[in-house]
Structure 1
Amino acid sequence: MALKKRSKVSAEFSMSSLTDIIFLLLIFFMLTSNLINPNALNLKMPGKSKTTSVSNSKITDVTIKSNGRFYLNRKKVGASRLEAALKRLAKKESKPTITISPEPNAPIEKVAAVMDIAMRYHISAIMSAELNN
């Protein structure tokens, strides 16, 4: 009497099915990456345009020190007085312009606050890369 051996389940797997899945994933990601809009933020890139020169007498300088204090044309002012002064500037001039000159360790929140005030009153803001002494 011959005993039958149990058939063992093969522990091997087919690489061809794994290759098919990877190939399908590759095709899926290639197709979906082409559908993504790269200009989702609608940023306008700088280009050549006519430059407008502003006389130095019309530019107001806002300096932000590393301790968070504001200086308007080298005079120390508080945040509320700075906003009031920039509001008066916006009413007085047709195209008001300010330069924002933060010190290297100035709090970014203070810089953003000045930029927000300038945007609120339609004031052109120019960021200074280095503090003018």
Structure 2
Amino acid sequence: MVRRNKRFHAEVATSSLSDIMFFLLLFFLIISTLANPNVIKMTLPKSKNNEKTNKQLISLSVTEEKRYFLDKEEVPFDQLESVLMSKITPGSDETIVVRIPYNLQVQDLVDVLQIGVKNKLKFVIATSNSQ
């Protein structure tokens, strides 16, 4: 008498799982390239100790009362663009340092930055070193 091995062996088919993972990866790669937020291009400040620069800086300060100062000289907002453009020498590599309180609305910052975007100026936001 010959005995046959009738044991059942469970198998899990994983070939379709790898196909599904490939399609999910492809889907997320395509979706992530389509997500393009609408942002304002701006030079962000770099914080390095003892770094010196030869660039000319113009200081633009905004107070909590929404008073605007260009190099410590108060300027009304409606004249800010014209006064700023008069201080910049054509063809120079000048950077405007914006000092704005943290508790003002984002729209106040965007209003100031729109002047730079319109005139293709370099703006840097000054920050405090919090530790």
Give the TM-score normalised by structure 1.
Answer: 0.57
Whole-angstrom distance in 1 between the partners of 2:107 and 2:29: 37
- Per the TM alignment, residue 106 of structure 1 is displaced from its structure 2 partner at its CA by 2.3
Q: Does 1:105 align with 2:103?
A: yes
Whole-angstrom distance in 2 between the partners of 1:54 and 1:116: 26
RMSD: 3.7
Give the TM-score normalised by structure 2.
Answer: 0.58
Percent of residue pairs bearing the same amino acid type:
19
- Deviation string 1:74-98 (CA, Å, 9 cap, x unpaired) is 2221112211112223454522211
Whole-angstrom distance in 2 between the partners of 1:54 and 1:114: 25
Preserved CA contact (<8 Å) 2:70 2:84 = no
Whole-angstrom distance in 1 between the partners of 2:34 and 2:72: 40
Whole-angstrom distance in 1 between the partners of 2:34 and 2:126: 28
- Deviation string 1:2-58 (CA, Å, 9 cap, x unpaired) is xxxxxxxxxxxxxxxxxxxxx99xx497252243244743999x9xxxxx9334xx3
Call closer, same or farther: CA 1:82–1:93 in 2, change over 3 Å. farther
Call closer, same or farther: CA 1:80–1:54 in 2, change over 3 Å. farther
Call closer, same or farther: CA 1:37–1:105 in 2, change over 3 Å. closer
Paired residues, number: 101
Give 1:13's aligned residue.
none
Q: Which has the higher contact order (CA 8 A, sep 6+)?
A: 2
Give 1:33's aligned residue.
28
Preserved CA contact (<8 Å) 1:95 1:123 = no
Match of 2:60 among 54, 62, 65: 62
- Per the TM alignment, residue 61 of structure 1 is displaced from its structure 2 partner at its CA by 0.5
Q: Which runs of 4+ in 1 moved over 4 A?
A: none
Call closer, same or farther: CA 1:54–1:113 in 2, change over 3 Å. farther
Q: Does 1:122 align with 2:107?
A: no
Residue 110 of structure 1 aligns with an amino acid whose one-letter code is: D
